[in-house]
Structure 1
Amino acid sequence: MTRIDLHCHSTASDGTLTPAELVRAGAAAGLDVMAITDHDTTGGWAEATEARPEGLTLVRGAELSCRWHGGRRWPIALHLLAYLFDPDEPRFAADLARLRDDREQRAERIVDLLRADGVPISWPEVHEYAAGGSVGRPHIAQALIRAGLVATTTEAFQSGWLGGRYFVPKSDLDVFEGVRAVRAAGGVPVFAHPRATKRGPVVPDRLVVELAEAGLFGLEADHEDHSPAERAAMRALADRLGLVVTGSSDFHGTHKTVQLGAFQTTTEAYEKIVAAATGVPVLG
């Protein structure tokens, strides 16, 4: 049986393993295929490619920060997994650069708010935790843990900290523009953890229908933040719309307890994704 994990993060965004460490960990975990999907960046691609162990197939991708602006007073945040796109396609490259800049400005603003309340962390410390990658809230969480104010990343994301009192919104891509941009760059868009109610508000099925019409290729149904009922609902919706179903760990290293390969994608779904992509090939 081929073991395929299509959602993994490195220090290029908010994981705790470098891209080289990530691909080596994937091989050690018995994966045959893994994707590097850091938030809004391709910054880990080169290192992961160079360090890829023999026998491990690498899918290069990214996880895009998106918003849906319809149906509610406030937009709903959601994520698109983009696979095998051309990182040099001008429009998409510009979109990624803007998203990274916004993530950094947001993180710096959060640090300013924390410091204004006397929290003993600093921007240089948070930036150092990012190790040259895309700065995000997990790096601020690391600083809060170091300061002894929270015990875990999960605690740091609760309402008393980064999930409420010190929450600052991001200027994300409109989700329809995200789908179109991925497709224009030769990539394949898959909706990440679409029914994860434990993360907050989720979008209605009618949006998924509209996204499928706009070029969405799949739904990530098997994910640690989905209950069994939510997984079943996403599988049924994908079947009705002719979308592929993926399963992935959403691995972040020690920022989360989930392990590589905890949820997997079928060979059939993976092969459909590869066949649909025209941006960059898989490696391996």
Structure 2
Amino acid sequence: MKIDLHAHSNVSDGTQKPAMLVAAAAAARLDVMALTDHDSTAGWAGALAAARSLEIGLVPGMEISCKTDRGVSVHLLCYLHDPAHPGLLEEITKAKDARLTRAERMVERLAEDYPLNWDDVSAHVAPGATVGRPHIADALVAAGIVSDRNEAFANILTSHSRYFVSHYAPDPVLAVELVRAAGGVPVFAHPMASARGRVAAPETFHDMIDAGLLGLEVDHRDNSPEGRTWLRALALQEGLLVTGSSDYHGAGKPNLLGENTTTPEMLERIIAAGTGSRPYLP
């Protein structure tokens, strides 16, 4: 089986509608995929309908943006949680609202130097989608200011830029606790992606494990080889799930569906641990 457990639709920062994403996964000969939009489950219904039509397995999920008390960004994948769980939903809504406010403030700063306004950005945001910097990047590309998202993030939208504005994100330990309370399976996304910025300290990993973390996304293009070795050792030591995935965003990133995969045995463990919602497996 070919299983990819990390992909985004235009409900967050991907470029394809959920149904189109599922069709792309089927065309890439995936047997099972997971939809993991940032801080949103709004794409689940459309993805499920397409999965049933195309007879491809679908694991409903989400990616939660977190931040440690030292300001280190941590992304937490969660699978098979209850999307209506009050505690998790309240925290996700808070983070999603903060993303919108942050984006508006960044556009205000950008408008001082570039021919860009909020209407330009909102044109790239699907109805109800979680707004993020990639949407601002798409507007910059459309305006001819940069050539692609990568150039936008390398310069104008980097966290070191004067246009950057931070936003609220839950502590990763709290996020793990809420995902478990919602019957979900929490997996630390691309934990050793040092090219993206600072990575979490070892104590953060152990605090998250103590809170109920169940897995590590080891095989991801942004994890360094040394980082993957360290992660596998930690997973073995702590009895954690090990996953691999593409982090596909359509045309938004060069990542390809199925470029890294998860074993059937690990998928079985995820399904056994998740009690908040069910996967579709034809």
Confirm or deny that 1:236 pairs with 2:233: yes
SS of the counterpart of 1:130? Answer: coil
Task: Provide the secondary structure at the position in 1 that maps to 2:280.
Answer: coil
Partner in structure 2 of residue 249 of structure 1: 246
What is the alpha-carbon distance in structure 1 between the residues aligned to residue 157 and residue 66 of structure 2? Answer: 23
In structure 2, the partner of 1:211 is 208
1:154-169 equivalences under 5 Å are 154-165=150-161, 166-169=163-166
Question: Structure 1: which 4+ aligned runs deviate by more than 3 Å?
Answer: 159-163
CA root-mean-square deviation = 1.1
Question: Within 2, Cα distance between the matches of 1:195 and 1:160?
Answer: 24
- Cα offset, 1:204, TM superposition: 1.8
CA distance in 2 between partners of 1:144 and 1:162 (Å): 14
Matched, 1:126 2:126: no
- SS of residue matched to 1:78: strand
- Secondary structure of 1:191's aligned partner: strand
User: Corresponding residue for 1:202?
Assistant: 199
Residue type of the alignment partner of 1:57: G
Q: Which residue type is aligned with residue 191 of structure 1?
A: F
Contact 2:137 2:157 in 1 (8 A): no
Distance in 2, matches of 1:156 and 1:59, equals 32
Provide the C-alpha distance between the structure 2 equivalents of 1:100 and 1:89, rounded to a whole number of angstroms: 16
Separation in 2 of the partners of 1:214 and 1:93?
19
- Secondary structure of 1:249's partner? coil
- Partners of 2:50 and 2:157 in 1: how far apart? 37
| Structure-2 residue corresponding to 1:31 | 30
Give me the TM-score of the superposition, normalised by structure 1: 0.95
Pairwise CA distance, 1:154: 0.9
1:184-236 per-residue CA deviation (whole Å, 9 max, x = no partner) reads: 00000000000111010011222212211110000001001012222121111
Instruction: State the distance in 2 between where 1:107 and 1:129 align.
Output: 13
More divergent stretch after superposition (28-37 vs 229-238)? 229-238
Q: What is the distance in 1 between the residues matched to 2:132 and 2:156?
A: 18
TM value normalised by structure 2? 0.96
Q: Offset at 1:150?
A: 1.1
Other-structure match for 1:174:
171
For residues 267 and 48 of structure 1, do their structure 2 counterparts lie closer, same or farther at Cα, with a shift above 3 Å needed? same
Q: CA deviation at 1:33?
A: 0.6
Distance 2:105 2:173 in 1: 28
Contact 2:39 2:64 survives alignment (8 Å): yes
Relative to 1, partners in 2 of residues 1:160 and 1:139: Cα closer, same or farther, differing over 3 Å? closer
Give secondary structure in 1 for the equivalent of 2:54.
Answer: coil
Identity across the alignment (%): 49
Letter of the 1:187 counterpart: G
Pick which of 229-238 and 32-41 moved more. Answer: 229-238
Residues 68 and 174 in structure 1, CA contact (< 8 A), matched pair in contact too: yes
Q: Following TM superposition, by how much is the alpha carbon of 1:162 offset from its aligned partner in structure 2, in angstroms?
A: 3.8
Report the alpha carbon displacement of residue 109 of structure 1 after superposing the two structures with TM.
0.7
Q: Unaligned stretches of 5+ in structure 2?
A: none
Aligned to 2:48: 49
1:95 Cα shift? 1.3
- For 1:71-86, list aligned pairs within 5 A: 74-86=70-82
Rounded to whole Å, the distance in 2 between the matches of 1:230 and 1:169 is: 27
Q: Write the distance in 1 (CA, Å) between the matches of 2:14 and 2:193.
A: 20
Q: Is the 8 A contact 1:209 1:241 kept in 2?
A: no
Question: Runs of 5+ in structure 1 lacking a partner?
Answer: none
What SS does the corresponding residue of 1:207 show, helix, strand or coil? helix
Aligned length: 278
